Every structure is written in structure tokens, then in C-alpha cells.
Structure 1
């Protein structure tokens, strides 16, 4: 499955639009990791635990979107976008795009 953030795919024509595909993942944050991350934010540097959690969320969202697109008969997703929101003790990653058939 070809997935792009652009609305078109160079070298391909969109033959049919199958519709929007969406997926989301809500993960709870670990209070122990929050405390350590809070300390890390004082001295600076990457919060690796959160980076790993975000990467895992992106993988899961893309897998779910691909499944939806395949079920509709699509062979590509265009216009992929992600949105992230954080609440008390949770984070939610939402992905959306348009399932299409390309030549």
C-alpha cells in the first residue's frame, strides 16, 4: 500500500476515490515515566519513552488505515495527516487520509 502526504502521486493517476480512512490510538502514560520525563525536561534532552510511544502509535494508526483502505479495494492512501492531543495521563494520535485506486 502506497501512503503519501501529498494529494497526488507522481507518475500515477488516481482512477477512483474510495473515501476517507481514519484511525486513532489512545495510550495511557506511565506515572513513573512522567516523573522521570519531568526531571529530564529540567536538564534538557529527548524524552525517549515518549518518542517510542509516539512511534508505536503511528505504526498502529497506519496499519489500521491500510486495513480500511484494503477493505474498500484501494491500493493507495493520499493526503495522510496526523494529529496528536494529550490529556491528563493519556495521549491520542489520530490519522486520516483518502483511500484511492491508482494505476
Structure 2
């Protein structure tokens, strides 16, 4: 709800109506998260490209970039309309059905 309110407030063409959310193929979940919380992925408040590591930890930077890329791919591939209709893209549904997906390590 908070995300929808902030998204509605940020629109230049007037308030966002409930019908627009249900038909919102062009509003991704990534868009909503960026409006509400800022960057999709950050470490200690820093975006991955702004990080630097040296020595044995140097390979962490490409790891964080890869993580961000995958988070972006998933969240940009799901729209508000997908969520409103309870019809997530097949790739996302498949990830949620993977063994261990619902288990905390």
C-alpha cells in the first residue's frame, strides 16, 4: 500500500487509480521498490559499482554486480499487473518452486 501511495504521488499526470494498478503492465516491481526504498541492491548503503576491494576480496565486486543483475532481472520482469492478477511470469514461479527456495539456510 505504501508503495502504491508513493507511486501515485510521484505521477505527473494525476493520481494513480486502482484500475491503473490492475492494468499496469508498464510499472515494474523494480520501479516501485526504487521509488520507495531507492536502489534495488546496496551494501551498507553503497551501490555495488561504488565499492572497491583489494587482495583476496577483490572477486567480491563481480559477485555483488552479478547479484544486482539477477535481482534487477527478476524485479524488472514482474509488473504490478502480474501481482494484481496473481499471475507471476513462469521464470519467477519456477524460481519460487526450486528446492530450498522457502528454507532459510
Q: State the TM-score, normalized to the length of structure 1.
A: 0.30
- More strand by proportion, 1 or 2? 1
- More helix by proportion, 1 or 2? 2
Which of the pair has the greater relative contact order for Cα pairs under 8 Å at 6+ separation?
A: 1
